[in-house]
Amino acid sequence: MTDRQPETGTDDPRRGAPWVVAVIKVMSRANTWLYRRTGGRIGGTWRVGSALRAPVPVCLVTTTGRKSGEPRTVPLLHLPDGDRVLLVASQGGLPSHPQWYRNVLVDPAVTVQVGRRVRSMTAREASPAERAELWPRLVERYADFAEYQANTSRVIPVVICEPVR
């Protein structure tokens, strides 16, 4: 992927508490289950925080577990960008990168489901220049991304998924 960027912000140790991570996992599993069963009719939009009045689309991203080798699916906010899908590895501004992002660094082959459409894609971290260009668009779509970045010392990666050609 790209060279690691310098860290920014500060981390509140309560944000990375085990119970916070456990709640995220439970809610993600429930969202994935509902999304799959309804083709995204339920669980296909995020209506929390800055998305309360302007819902943000959700997709399902399946990676290969870097340790287990098993498929791992997570619901993620996304921004369609032509035939690409843009993702943000924010994990709500937690101090560590999400597992799906770590999986992508090892194996960039992913599937992305938007509604009932499932596509094989290749994921890659945006270069610093690409991130600088894309970040304002992502924050415009979901303003909470800016708060997440301000509350963590890590640079939140932007991941670009491109169709397999």
Encode pLDDT of 69-119 as tens digits. Answer: 999 999 999 999 999 999 999 988 888 999 999 999 999 999 999 999 999
Write down the pLDDT at residue 119. 97
Whether the pLDDT of residue 38 is over 70: the answer is yes
- pLDDT confidence band for 50 (50 / 70 / 90): low
Say if residue 18's pLDDT is above 90.
Answer: no
Count of Cβ atoms closer than 10 Å to residue 140 Cβ: 11
> Which domains, ranges and CATH numbers included, belong to the chain?
13-163 (2.30.110.10)
Average pLDDT over residues 25-42: 91
Burial of 162 (0-12, 13-18, 19+ CB in 10 A): middle
Question: What percentage of the chain exceeds 70 in pLDDT?
Answer: 87
